[in-house]
Amino acid sequence: MAEYSRMAKGSFTASATTAVVQLPFKPDFVELLNYTNIAAGSGTNKTTRAWWDASLVVSSNNPTMIELYGAGGSVLFDVVAGSAAAPGISAFSAGQLLQFGPSKQIVASTKGATTSFQVTSHGYAAGDVVIFEGLYQSATTGMPQMAGIPFTVATVTDANNFVVNWNSNNSSYTNLSASPTGSTVKKVLYPYLYFPGTSVISAITTGATTTIDTTSAHNFVVGQEVAFRIPSQWGTVELNTLPNLTIPGSPIYGYVVSVTDFNTFVVSINSTSYTAFTTAIAVSAVNGLSFPQVVAVGDVNTGGVAISSGSALYPPPQYTPIGTAGVNTINGPAIKGAFVNNTAQGFVIGNGAATTNTSAAIMAANDVIEWRAYLHDYSSP
C-alpha cells in the first residue's frame, strides 16, 4: 500500500554532532548513511549506518539502531537510546506555540561589547536561539535587562561558555557569579514558526541611512517595509512609527535597502540628527520595561519569488538564521517578504552515544550524510 505514503531523500555535510532536517511530513522511519565513514573503510567506533523506526517501542524508548566499525575493521551493531539527554534520531512536529528545552543554571557571565555566559555542559551550537530568565546577582544588580529577549548564540567558546550579541559594557550591568538563584537559560526549539515576526533591536547606527542590529534573525528582505517601536529609555525614539509630526496620524515606515547578515540590515531613513541608541538601562527600571522592536509592515512587500531556469518549480519562502544563505520552509510559493507560517516537521539527529560502544556517535562535524525518510500509510500493529 503506497497511496498515501510519503518519501524524501537528501544529503548534507554535518556542521556538528546534531542536525535538524525539515520535511513536508513527520516521518515514521529514517535511515542515514555516513558516507565519510563508509568511504574511510575502517575506524574504531565509526558509525556507517543508522536507522530509526517510530513503531519500535522498547524499554529504551524508540532507540536508534546503528552499524559501526569495531576494532580491526570488524562490523558491529549497537543502539543509541532514545533518551531526552542524549538522543539518537527522532521525528518532530512544531506547532504555532514556542517550545523550549530544559532550563539550565547560569554559573557566571562576563560583560562587554558582547556578553558571555557560563553554563555547565550547555549543549548549544552557534545559531541556536535562547532566552534568559532572572539574571539578578542581587536585588539591585546583575543583567536582568537581557531577560526575556530571544538571542541567537553567536559563538560557542567551549562546552561551558557561549556568547550573545548584546552590549553590556557599561555601569548598568554587573557580572553574574556563583550561580545566582533564578538565573537560567533555555533553548527555543523551533524559533522561526512565523516570520519575519517581531525582532528585538540590539544596536542602531545612525546616519544618512540607518543600520539596525537585532538579537536574533530578523528574516527581512530588501524592499521590506518596517516599523519601529522604541521606548524612550533606549533612545532613538525618532524612528518610532507614531507620532508623525509632519503628517499627523500617518505612520512613519522605513524600507530595507540592504541586508548585511542574519541580524543586521539597513533602512532608508536619514537619522543623522536622531538620539543615540543605548542598552544602558538601570536595573531599577527593569520592572515594566518594554523592549525596542522592529516589525514588518503589511503582508505584501516585494512581489513574488521568481520561477526561472534552474529554479525550483514551486519555490518555498526561506528564513535566514546565522551562517546560512537561507533555509527552505515546508510551504509552497509565497510573497517574498510576506509573513510566513513556518510550521515545521521533520527529524532530528541527536548527539547520543551508543549503549555498548560508548565512543560511537551517529556523526561528527564535516561528515557527509545521506538520508532517506518515510511516512508509511499502513503499519502493522
Q: Where are the domains of the chain?
A: 6-95+346-375, 104-188, 199-342
Phi first, then psi: what are they for 71, rounded to 5°? -60, 140
Task: Give CA–CA dist 151/143, Å, rounded.
Answer: 14
Q: Is the pLDDT of residue 274 over 70?
A: yes
For 323, residues 6+ apart whose C-beta sits below 8 A from its C-beta are 126, 127, 262
Q: Which element (helix H / strand E) includes 67?
A: strand 64-69
Architecture of domain 104-188: Beta Barrel (2.40)
Task: Give CA–CA dist 85/361, Å, rounded.
Answer: 14
Residue 1: the pLDDT is 44
Span 62-70, mean pLDDT? 92
Q: Is the pTM of this model over 0.85?
A: no
Residue 103: the pLDDT is 95
Are residues 65 and 50 in contact, defined by beta-carbon separation less than 8 angstroms? Answer: yes
Residue 55: all three cell numbers together = 513503531
Sheet (strand 115-118) strand order: 104-105, 184-188, 129-133, 150-158, 161-164, 115-118, 108-110
DSSP three-state, residue 46: strand
Confidence of residue 307 (pLDDT cuts 50, 70, 90): low
Residue 300: the pLDDT is 46
Domain 199-342 in the same topology as domain 104-188: yes
Task: Give CA–CA dist 60/67, Å, rounded.
Answer: 18
Are residues 381 and 57 in contact, defined by beta-carbon separation less than 8 angstroms? Answer: no
Span 293-304, mean pLDDT? 68
Are residues 283 and 242 in contact, defined by beta-carbon separation less than 8 angstroms? Answer: no
Residue 285: the pLDDT is 96
Residue 311: the pLDDT is 67
Q: Is the pLDDT of residue 121 over 70?
A: yes
Q: Is the pLDDT of residue 112 over 90?
A: yes
Range from 143-147, 178-182, 326-330, 369-373 carrying the lowest mean pLDDT: 326-330
Residue 170: the pLDDT is 97
Confidence of residue 301 (pLDDT cuts 50, 70, 90): very low
Average pLDDT taken over every residue of the chain: 89
Q: Is the pLDDT of residue 226 over 80?
A: yes
Confidence of residue 265 (pLDDT cuts 50, 70, 90): very high
Span 74-78, mean pLDDT? 93
CATH of 199-342 among 2.40.33.20, 3.30.1450.10, 2.40.30.180, 2.30.140.10: 2.40.30.180
Residue 231: all three cell numbers together = 521606548
- Of residues 99 and 199, which shows the higher confidence score? 199
Residue 303: the pLDDT is 44
Are residues 340 and 330 in contact, defined by beta-carbon separation less than 8 angstroms? Answer: no
Range from 6-10, 30-34, 171-175 carrying the lowest mean pLDDT: 6-10
DSSP state of 305: P
Range from 30-34, 141-145, 353-357 carrying the lowest mean pLDDT: 353-357
DSSP state of 302: S
Residue 344: the pLDDT is 79
How does pLDDT run across 336-345, given as a tens digit for each residue? 677 787 777 8
Nearest to 110 by CA among 42, 62, 157, 148: 157
Q: Is the pLDDT of residue 249 over 80?
A: no
Range from 122-136, 143-157, 198-212, 337-351 carrying the lowest mean pLDDT: 337-351
- Dihedral angle over CA of 118, 122, 125, 130, nearest 10: -80
Residue 81: the pLDDT is 84
Task: Give CA–CA dist 80/59, Å, rounded.
Answer: 12
